[in-house]
Every structure is written in structure tokens, then in C-alpha cells.
Structure 1
Amino acid sequence: MDTQVLIIGAGPTGLTLAVDLARRGVPFRIVDAAPGPFHGSRGKGLQPRSMEVFDDLGLIDEILANGRFHVRMRHYRDREVLRELDMHEGRHPTPDRPYASTLIIPQFRVEQILRDRLGGAVEFGTALTGFHQDDEHVTATLGNGETVSARYLVGCDGGKSFVRKHLGVGFLGETWEDQRLLVGDVRATGLDREYWHGWGDQTGFVGLCPLPATDLYQFQATGDGEPTLEHFRAIIGRYRDDVEITEVTWSSLYRVNIRMVDRFRVGRVFLAGDAAHVHSPAGGQGMNTGIQDAYNLGWKLGIDALLDTYESERKPVAESMLGITTRLHTSGRFERDEDTLQLSLSYRDDPDAPGLQVGDRMPDGLVEQGRVFDLLRGTHFTTLERADGPVLVRPDGYVAAIGRSAIDDYFRLTPAAQHDHRRVTVRDRAA
């Protein structure tokens, strides 16, 4: 066997998985058919739960340094400001929620931060051309003729996933051909960078959002046509004659797709991110859901007994995200709620049960030893010995078991989980 895990695709999903495997000491290779890194801002909103993931991975300082919270939106009629809006008005960090609102940060910067952590691990210009599997291995063929044997293969290769198609996995849903969005990263003059600027009328809308730590704006507009500099200039010219787009560094014509796979796993091959689910960009969920697919799968790749729970946990989440983004897209609503922050995401069995339950995100907090998240950070399971009883927390920050007998049962059924397990007696700081 050449490696433990072969990752196909070096976007946010594949890179997050690679970083998680690297810190666990799990051998992997990550390949991407593209000749080099992606340079666009297809996604630009990082949700609080994803920031908690990057906190655990030790990347949060770089992420925060390259992003910005509470970017106010300005809506205009020509040059007249009609209203201003902060989609996250009143949301601020608390002890249990250190990241309370969406961070504006371009996708290419998130990917760069992840790549920097990996060093030169990403093999660009390396396409997957075929694979087959048996009970022990996946044997993959790369575009350069190389054959790679891996214990597992993970397809993180986007909405047009070769891995998904080669598996024959269904991609159920629909394409809204009549709803298209022109997207691009542009340089522009005539606007300040303090606001997310937007114009709209009965014919459509156009927006220019400043991308932090760059001199770029993300351009978005409803409509069709080629996503060129001339076309972008013509669109903004309908609303403002004093704003000039001077350069387009990346652009795309987006068609609304709402689709999801019928399976996340086929034998030793897994699907994650856009390879498993695509949806409207409304609400900024796509990049984030993929990051959390990877975070859910990474630690399980070392515990065979838990691999089936990847699909059983992530498939309902993907279904929920498709519903949320579709509602936001059709309503045109800008305000955001708890669901879009992804902090309420849970793998619990009973959604209405009160209090902390198995499958819930373990909240942060202040105890005598410091922050709860500092105690959880790393590759280990953690038993928090609390005054009201012990809580076993999984490596991805979700509750695995509550109570002594339940924890003993968990380790009896999943003995591999004990290999990296810590116990911490915690007391409230105020006690």
C-alpha cells in the first residue's frame, strides 16, 4: 500500500481533510487536476462553526487576520443610499460562542492558509483517470500513468466530480436554468471599501463586496452572458456612471444547482463537499459544509468501526443545508438566523430533547484550566469530568457519550478510540 488516504481535489474540503490527517500522522496524498491553486472567491463567507474547526486545527489567527466581521451592506438607488444593513447586528462573541457571526474572507485566501500549513504537499496538474477497489485497497490511476494503492480514497473534486461519476452514484436534484449569476473578482474605482454596495430593480441586482486583505471586490449580478470585463462594466453602468471596473482577475457564470448524492460512501471510497452536494450560494453555506464534511471524516478514517457514521451524520446535514439555501435564494432575504451560522448543527437523535445531548456541539466556556476549546484542541477524545457528571467529547468537538456507564459502553464498542484519550477534571472558574 502506497498511502493510507488518497484525496482527490485541493479545494477547501480536500485541504481541510489533509491538514487534519497530517496532524494525526496519517499518511496521505492530495492531488488536483488543476495546474495550480484556485484564485477566485467563489465562496467568501466563513461561518462560526467553520472558524471553530480552524481554531482546533491551529489556523484561526491567520484566518481572522485575513477576514472581517460585520461588513455593512449599503443599498442604493443610483447614488442615493436607501438603507444600510448589518446582517449580524447584535451578534458578538460570548464565552460559549467565541465566533458569533460570519467572517468575510475570500475562498482563495482560506485555501492559501490551508496549503501553507501543508507545505508543498498538494500535487497540482495530477488528474485521477480511474480507480477500482477490493476489500482491502483502492487502486487509483493518475494522469501521469502512476498507479497508487491506498486504504481509502476521498473524492473532494467538486460538483463535476470524476470520483462520483466513476462510482455511478446518483446526483439527485435539479438545475434552475433560468436563474444565473455572474460572479467575479474585480478591481474598481469610485467606491470605498467600508461597505458591501448593492443596487437593484425589477430587472435584477448587482453587488460589489470588498474582499478583506486584498484590493479586490467580489462582483455579483443576476443575468446571463459572458463574464467579461466589458460585460461587468456595462452592468454596473446601468446604476452608476462614476464607478469603473478596471480589471477582472477571475470570473464565472453560475447556474443554480440543487443536488445531492444518494450515498456518501461506496466501500472504501467517500464523497465530500461539492462532490456530494451543491446548492444556491445564498447564505454562504457551500464552502462551510464541505469543510465540516472533511472535519467529520478525518478522525473516523483511523477508526474503521465509525466510518459508516460519516454518511448517517453528514447526509441529513446536507439535506438541511439544501433546504435552507433554497429558501434564502427564493425569498431574497438578507437577514441571517441560527441555522446559517451552523452552530446549531447537531448529530443528536432527538432534536427536541432539552439540555446537552449526545451528538451536540460541545460549547466553549471558561473553567479553572482556561478555555474548554483549549482543552479539546487536538486529535484526542476528551472526558470532561464535571460536577454534574462526565462528558466524553469526540475529536471533532461533538459529544460522544454522557455519564460513566455510557462512556464505558462507547469505549467497549469502539476500543480504538481509547488510543488517544485524555481526562480533565474541570471546575467552573467562578466556583
Structure 2
Amino acid sequence: MTSTSGLPSAKTLRLASARRRLRAFIDQIAELGTSDFAHLDGKDALTFIKGYSLELREVLERLTPEASEASVNEACAQTSLMVSRYTDILGFILRSTNVRNAFEMHFPLKRLVETAVSPDARLIMSSEWKFVPFTYPMTLDWLPGFALVGGPAPESDNVLIVPLAGHEIGHSAWRSKQLKDQLMADLVAAIAQTLDDMPAETSLVSNELGVDGVALAKLRDAVLRSAIKQLEEIFCDLFGLFIFGRSFLYAYEYFLAPGWGMRSAYYPSSLDRVRYLIEAAEKLGIAPEADLFEAWGDSIPLKFADGAVIRLADAAVAKIYPALRAITFNILADHGITPPTADATDRVLASLRQHVPDGEGATLPEIVTAGWLLLRERGGLSLDQDIAEYKILNELMLKSVEVSEFKLRVEAHA
């Protein structure tokens, strides 16, 4: 079909552009497939993405010059959405092959995902140019069974930050266990009670939204959105704490100290997160150092009205927190997951002090906890003269993980 100028129509050229973009995307997948993958989950993810891309290519190729404008536009929009969303994922998968990554962490963390989330779950770990670890939970349309966990590139080989992966994996567990639905009825009731208990905040936000009945409904929705997101973040903190014990507290403090900063409505305040962690740690028999979070500062909402919504959400979250903590611990315990034991941690610590890896097969959380304890014993190992010892500590933890993995495989085939 041509335009009045005799050239191909805009619709025809638009369709050609979509086909070229998709071809380039598929070619990139093929090129990435030639990379060296230390673990097959990344390569499997490429196979899934390529399969869906080929299906979309068939849709584009079936469109004839006589196809309607609406049909072409829909196919082009699907192509743009897919390419824009999954280009980031291709980059993530490529960076997962970087030799600076601590590949030794893959198998113990994948077992955690399989145990706590789903037996069919896949795990891809990568180094990313972001300040703190983050995740693509298992909600990607084309990778529904994959958890993608990214750590900051400068720390890609640092075993001590592995506990924070527990928080990120927690996001996948939150979804797979459908905890939002499980908590919703109690949360709605808690919000209703909170609105009655805090009339000043309720009035402030309602006046900003308007004075009609719609304002109260909007207020409830705003508080609910904030509260449910906060509960997810708290769940993930508790998830990581239960699995990694005190090493989660140390890794958390390492990245986020000393608190402060501007606060999003979708996260608990800096002080509330720490308070919930300390309360949960005490329930687990963990007694963190009294001064660990002593100087922690609170985060501040961006706007005054936001602050009122957040205060209402915080109060509702506090009502739900005890039940959330029990649910989190029960989920992990029911899946046979236990926190690090003191005996094993002490044994690993004794080995690390002697500059030898643990040879008895400790768990990853026990190894990392021992590593943190030694680091703190040695004053943080941050000076120039400490660099060699710090690197040795990291290598000893990696070797301890390798020994543990070897023993597990031998026992599995005994």
C-alpha cells in the first residue's frame, strides 16, 4: 500500500520498523547465547525470551499490506513494549556472566529460592550499576519462574553482602505465598481503626482531597497502598533476618547506615525498619550489639500531606506487624529452613581466625555470619594495610562455601 505521494504508507513503514527492531532484539539474544554461563539458569532465560520473541515475529510477519491500521498499531505497540521491557533483562543476563561475580553463591542461594519460594524456581544473579541490591521478582510475563537478584557492581565479589540477597528473594516469596491477599482483610480493618484513632491526620488529608465522601475513600486507598508496600518490605527484612541471622543486620547496617534521607510512602521509616528488625532478632534469640543502630537517623517524608498519610499507614502497619512476623517465621520453618546455629558459626569463626576454610560443611548463612564476626573483631579491615587480610577473608568464605557444596553433593550420591 502506498501513500498519495507514491511512497509506501506510514502504516507500511511503521510495520517495517517494528520488524527491524524485533530482528535486532532476536539477533542480540543469539549473540548473548554464545556467552560462557557458569550456571544454566541465565541461558534458559534467554531461551524463554527468544521463544516469545519468535512468536511475536510471526504475528508481525502475518500482517499483510491490507491489514487494518488498528491491527498494525497493536502489533507495533506490543513490539515496543516487549523490547523496552526486556532489553534491561538481556543486559542483566549478560552481566550475570561477568567473571567478577561470586559464582560460588549461586547454588546455595538457588536452593534457598527452591525451598522457600518454589521447587521449580530459577535464579539469576548479576552485578548491576545500582547502589543497593535489587530484584526483578518472579512477575515478569516471560520469565514467571525466575528470580533475578542484582548486587552493586563494586561489591560483586563481596561475600559479606550476600545476606541482602535474602531480602531480595523475599519479594518473590511474598508473591508466591500470596501474602498480600492473606493480610488484606486484617489490614483494611486496621486502617479503619487507625482512621478513627487519629482524627487529626485523617482530617488533614481529607481536607486536601476535598470534603465529600470520595475524599475518605481516596484517603483509605492512599493509606492502603502505603501500608501494603511497607508490609512487603518488612516481610523481606524478616525473611532475610531469619535465614541469615545477625549477618543480615550487619549487611543492612553496612549499606544503609546511618539512616536519614528522604522517605518514600512505600517504605517504612528508617527507624521503624530497624525497630522491627531488632524486635524480630530478639524473638530469634539474636542479641545485636547495643550500639549497632544507636545513632540511626529517621527518614523524612517529601511533603507534609504525605507525612499525614504515612503516619496513618505506619500506625496500621504496627497493628499488623506481630502477625506478619509470625507468618514469616512460620513459612520458613515449615519449609525446613533454620537460622544459623551458634555452634557451627563459632566453628567457622575459629577456622577463619586460623586463615583456613571451614571443612565441616557449614551453611552459607553460618559462613557469612562468621565472616562478619571476624571482620568486626579486626576493626573493620578498612585501612591500606588491611587489604590483604580482607581479601583473604573473602576467599576463605568462598572456599568454605565450595567445601560445603562438595560435601552436600557427595552425601547426595552416597
TM-score class, shorter-chain normalisation, is: under 0.3
TM-score, scaled relative to structure 2: 0.24
- Taking CA–CA contacts closer than 8 Å with sequence separation of 6 or more, which of the two structures ends up with the larger relative contact order? 1
Question: Between Structure 1 and Structure 2, whose CA radius of gyration is higher?
Answer: 2
TM-score, scaled relative to structure 1: 0.23
Kindly indicate which of the two structures has a greater share of residues assigned to strand.
Answer: 1
